């Protein structure tokens, strides 16, 4: 009986998603967004062929220009906060020494002439 109890899974409520899973999700998000870029360029060619309007084709291309930038920003973003998660600053409580240590100062003599 004790052997069966030891095999039960323990739920860790504050465990975060592993780095591998986070990386896999970010790569998937990046590739999904970048997958829209090539069809947008093909669509620009189709629009130009169908309408003969270079401005419409350039408009489609212009809409596809920020896609790599947005894809990189989204891929480098941290996972979203869980519902109810409060950002907390964790202070170590250790007082560090000042950046510039105090030195001995010599007073200048005053001459009243």
Residue 56 — pLDDT band, cuts 50, 70, 90? very high
Give the model confidence (pLDDT) of 61-96 as tens digits.
Answer: 999 899 889 888 888 877 777 777 677 776 666 666
DSSP string, 67-110: HHHHHHHHHTSPPPPPTT---------PPPPPSS------PPPP
Residue 4 — pLDDT band, cuts 50, 70, 90? low
pLDDT attached to residue 83: 74
Give the model confidence (pLDDT) of 25-45 as tens digits.
Answer: 889 989 988 898 889 989 999
What is the pTM for the complete model shown?
0.51
């Amino acid at each position: 009986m004790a052997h069966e109890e030891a095999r039960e899974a323990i739920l860790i409520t504050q465990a975060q998603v592993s780095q591998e899973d986070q990386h896999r999700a970010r790569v998937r998000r990046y590739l999904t967004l970048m997958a829209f870029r090539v069809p947008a360029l093909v669509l620009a060619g189709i629009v130009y062929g169908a309408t003969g309007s270079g401005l419409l084709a350039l408009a489609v291309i212009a809409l596809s220009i920020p896609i790599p930038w947005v894809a990189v920003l989204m891929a480098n973003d941290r996972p979203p906060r869980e519902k109810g998660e409060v950002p907390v600053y964790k202070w170590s409580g250790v007082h560090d020494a000042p950046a510039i240590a105090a030195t001995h100062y010599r007073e200048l003599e005053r001459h009243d002439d």
